[in-house]
Protein backbone atom coordinates (compact mmCIF):
# COMPACT_ATOMS: atom_id res chain seq x y z
CA UNK A 1 0.00 0.00 0.00
CA UNK A 2 2.82 2.38 0.86
CA UNK A 3 4.47 1.65 -2.51
CA UNK A 4 1.21 2.39 -4.29
CA UNK A 5 0.81 5.73 -2.49
CA UNK A 6 4.45 6.60 -3.18
CA UNK A 7 4.02 5.81 -6.90
CA UNK A 8 0.81 7.86 -7.02
CA UNK A 9 2.47 10.90 -5.46
CA UNK A 10 5.44 10.57 -7.79
CA UNK A 11 3.08 10.19 -10.71
CA UNK A 12 1.42 13.53 -9.99
CA UNK A 13 4.79 15.27 -9.69
CA UNK A 14 5.95 13.71 -12.96
CA UNK A 15 2.71 14.62 -14.70
CA UNK A 16 3.16 18.25 -13.70
CA UNK A 17 6.66 18.26 -15.17
CA UNK A 18 5.49 16.52 -18.33
CA UNK A 19 2.69 19.01 -18.90
CA UNK A 20 5.00 22.01 -18.58
CA UNK A 21 5.22 24.04 -21.79
CA UNK A 22 7.23 22.25 -24.45
CA UNK A 23 10.26 24.10 -25.75
CA UNK A 24 11.80 22.87 -29.00
CA UNK A 25 15.38 21.68 -28.70
CA UNK A 26 17.55 23.10 -31.53
CA UNK A 27 20.34 20.56 -30.89
CA UNK A 28 17.95 17.63 -31.24
CA UNK A 29 16.40 19.20 -34.34
CA UNK A 30 19.84 19.16 -36.00
CA UNK A 31 19.63 15.38 -36.34
CA UNK A 32 17.83 14.59 -39.54
CA UNK A 33 16.56 11.03 -39.10
CA UNK A 34 15.98 8.42 -36.41
CA UNK A 35 18.95 6.42 -37.70
CA UNK A 36 21.21 9.11 -36.16
CA UNK A 37 20.40 7.92 -32.61
CA UNK A 38 21.62 5.11 -30.39
CA UNK A 39 19.97 3.83 -27.23
CA UNK A 40 21.56 1.58 -24.67
CA UNK A 41 19.91 -1.85 -24.81
CA UNK A 42 18.38 -3.38 -21.71
CA UNK A 43 21.36 -5.77 -21.71
CA UNK A 44 23.78 -2.81 -21.56
CA UNK A 45 24.96 -2.95 -25.18
CA UNK A 46 24.59 -0.21 -27.81
CA UNK A 47 21.26 -0.28 -29.63
CA UNK A 48 21.88 1.91 -32.70
CA UNK A 49 18.71 2.71 -34.62
CA UNK A 50 20.87 2.69 -37.76
CA UNK A 51 20.63 -1.13 -37.54
CA UNK A 52 16.96 -0.68 -38.48
CA UNK A 53 17.61 1.60 -41.48
CA UNK A 54 15.02 0.90 -44.18
CA UNK A 55 12.58 -0.67 -41.72
CA UNK A 56 9.50 0.78 -40.04
CA UNK A 57 9.72 1.25 -36.27
CA UNK A 58 7.25 1.91 -33.51
CA UNK A 59 9.25 3.45 -30.64
CA UNK A 60 7.25 3.36 -27.40
CA UNK A 61 8.11 4.59 -23.91
CA UNK A 62 6.91 1.88 -21.56
CA UNK A 63 6.38 1.30 -17.83
CA UNK A 64 5.71 -1.77 -15.70
CA UNK A 65 3.26 -0.24 -13.18
CA UNK A 66 1.09 1.86 -15.50
CA UNK A 67 -2.61 1.39 -16.18
CA UNK A 68 -1.59 1.04 -19.85
CA UNK A 69 0.99 -1.71 -19.21
CA UNK A 70 -1.35 -4.23 -20.83
CA UNK A 71 -0.46 -2.48 -24.13
CA UNK A 72 2.67 -4.65 -24.13
CA UNK A 73 0.41 -7.44 -25.45
CA UNK A 74 -0.69 -5.30 -28.39
CA UNK A 75 2.87 -4.21 -29.08
CA UNK A 76 3.93 -7.86 -29.14
CA UNK A 77 1.13 -8.67 -31.59
CA UNK A 78 2.17 -5.83 -33.91
CA UNK A 79 5.81 -6.94 -33.76
CA UNK A 80 4.90 -10.53 -34.59
CA UNK A 81 2.38 -9.59 -37.29
CA UNK A 82 4.41 -7.01 -39.19
CA UNK A 83 7.96 -8.11 -38.31
CA UNK A 84 8.34 -10.35 -41.38
CA UNK A 85 7.51 -7.31 -43.56
CA UNK A 86 10.28 -5.10 -42.14
CA UNK A 87 8.75 -3.73 -38.93
CA UNK A 88 9.96 -3.65 -35.34
CA UNK A 89 8.74 -2.33 -32.04
CA UNK A 90 11.40 -0.73 -29.83
CA UNK A 91 10.36 -0.56 -26.18
CA UNK A 92 11.92 2.24 -24.15
CA UNK A 93 11.25 1.70 -20.42
CA UNK A 94 11.14 4.99 -18.55
CA UNK A 95 10.70 6.03 -14.96
CA UNK A 96 9.81 9.60 -15.92
CA UNK A 97 6.24 9.09 -14.73
CA UNK A 98 7.32 7.13 -11.64
CA UNK A 99 5.82 3.85 -12.83
CA UNK A 100 8.82 1.74 -13.78
CA UNK A 101 10.77 -0.93 -11.96
CA UNK A 102 14.12 -0.01 -10.39
CA UNK A 103 16.51 -1.97 -12.61
CA UNK A 104 16.90 -3.04 -16.22
CA UNK A 105 17.07 -6.67 -15.13
CA UNK A 106 13.71 -6.38 -13.34
CA UNK A 107 12.12 -4.74 -16.40
CA UNK A 108 13.51 -7.37 -18.77
CA UNK A 109 12.30 -10.24 -16.59
CA UNK A 110 8.86 -8.64 -16.21
CA UNK A 111 8.48 -8.13 -19.98
CA UNK A 112 9.59 -11.66 -20.83
CA UNK A 113 7.59 -13.46 -18.11
CA UNK A 114 4.37 -11.41 -18.14
CA UNK A 115 4.11 -10.60 -21.86
CA UNK A 116 6.55 -12.83 -23.76
CA UNK A 117 8.27 -9.76 -25.20
CA UNK A 118 10.92 -10.52 -27.79
CA UNK A 119 11.22 -7.13 -29.47
CA UNK A 120 14.24 -4.96 -28.59
CA UNK A 121 14.12 -3.08 -25.31
CA UNK A 122 16.26 -0.09 -24.40
CA UNK A 123 17.66 0.40 -20.92
CA UNK A 124 15.56 2.56 -18.59
CA UNK A 125 15.71 5.94 -20.31
CA UNK A 126 14.60 9.54 -19.73
CA UNK A 127 11.98 10.53 -22.32
CA UNK A 128 10.84 13.96 -21.09
CA UNK A 129 12.41 17.24 -20.08
CA UNK A 130 15.93 18.56 -20.54
CA UNK A 131 17.46 15.21 -19.64
CA UNK A 132 15.43 13.32 -22.25
CA UNK A 133 17.32 10.99 -24.56
CA UNK A 134 18.29 12.82 -27.79
CA UNK A 135 15.88 10.63 -29.83
CA UNK A 136 13.00 11.81 -27.66
CA UNK A 137 14.02 15.47 -27.94
CA UNK A 138 14.23 15.04 -31.73
CA UNK A 139 10.89 13.22 -31.94
CA UNK A 140 9.22 15.84 -29.72
CA UNK A 141 10.42 18.52 -32.14
CA UNK A 142 8.99 16.56 -35.06
CA UNK A 143 5.66 15.65 -33.40
CA UNK A 144 4.87 16.12 -29.72
CA UNK A 145 6.56 15.10 -26.46
CA UNK A 146 5.32 12.13 -24.45
CA UNK A 147 2.71 13.23 -21.92
CA UNK A 148 2.51 9.78 -20.35
CA UNK A 149 3.74 6.21 -20.65
CA UNK A 150 3.08 4.29 -23.86
CA UNK A 151 3.47 7.26 -26.20
CA UNK A 152 4.11 5.85 -29.66
CA UNK A 153 6.28 7.28 -32.46
CA UNK A 154 6.07 5.64 -35.86
CA UNK A 155 9.34 5.94 -37.78
CA UNK A 156 9.05 5.49 -41.56
CA UNK A 157 11.55 3.63 -43.72
CA UNK A 158 13.30 6.95 -44.45
CA UNK A 159 13.91 7.52 -40.73
CA UNK A 160 11.42 10.35 -40.31
CA UNK A 161 8.49 10.49 -37.90
CA UNK A 162 5.37 9.24 -39.69
CA UNK A 163 2.96 9.34 -36.75
CA UNK A 164 2.64 9.97 -33.04
CA UNK A 165 -0.02 8.72 -30.62
CA UNK A 166 -0.53 9.01 -26.89
CA UNK A 167 -1.28 6.27 -24.41
CA UNK A 168 -5.03 6.31 -25.07
CA UNK A 169 -4.48 4.99 -28.61
CA UNK A 170 -4.05 1.23 -28.34
CA UNK A 171 -1.24 -0.33 -30.36
CA UNK A 172 -3.67 -2.55 -32.26
CA UNK A 173 -6.05 0.31 -33.11
CA UNK A 174 -7.08 0.62 -36.74
CA UNK A 175 -5.41 4.06 -36.81
CA UNK A 176 -1.99 2.67 -35.90
CA UNK A 177 -2.37 -0.45 -38.05
CA UNK A 178 -3.26 1.67 -41.10
CA UNK A 179 -0.27 3.94 -40.48
CA UNK A 180 2.07 0.93 -40.16
CA UNK A 181 0.72 -0.65 -43.33
CA UNK A 182 1.07 2.63 -45.21
CA UNK A 183 4.66 3.05 -43.98
CA UNK A 184 5.48 -0.55 -44.93
CA UNK A 185 4.08 0.02 -48.43
CA UNK A 186 6.59 2.82 -49.06
CA UNK A 187 9.80 1.84 -50.84
CA UNK A 188 12.89 1.20 -48.73
CA UNK A 189 15.28 4.13 -48.50
Q: Name the residues annotated as catalytic.
A: 66
Half-sphere exposure of 53 (CA within 13 A, CB side): 9
DSSP state of 21: P
Q: DSSP secondary structure string, 53-109?
A: TTSEEEEEEE-SSSTTTTHHHHHHHHHHHHGGGTEEEEEEE--TTS-S-SSHHHHHH
Which one, of 8, 7, 55, lies nearest residue 34 by Cα?
Answer: 55
Contact of 47 with 120, CB cutoff 8 Å: yes
H or E element, residue 28: helix 26-29
Amino acid sequence: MVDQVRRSLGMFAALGAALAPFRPDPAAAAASVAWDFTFESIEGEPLPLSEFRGKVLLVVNTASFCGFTNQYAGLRTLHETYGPRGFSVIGVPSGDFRQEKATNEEVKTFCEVEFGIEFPLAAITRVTGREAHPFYRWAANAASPPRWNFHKYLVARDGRIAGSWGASTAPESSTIRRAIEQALAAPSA
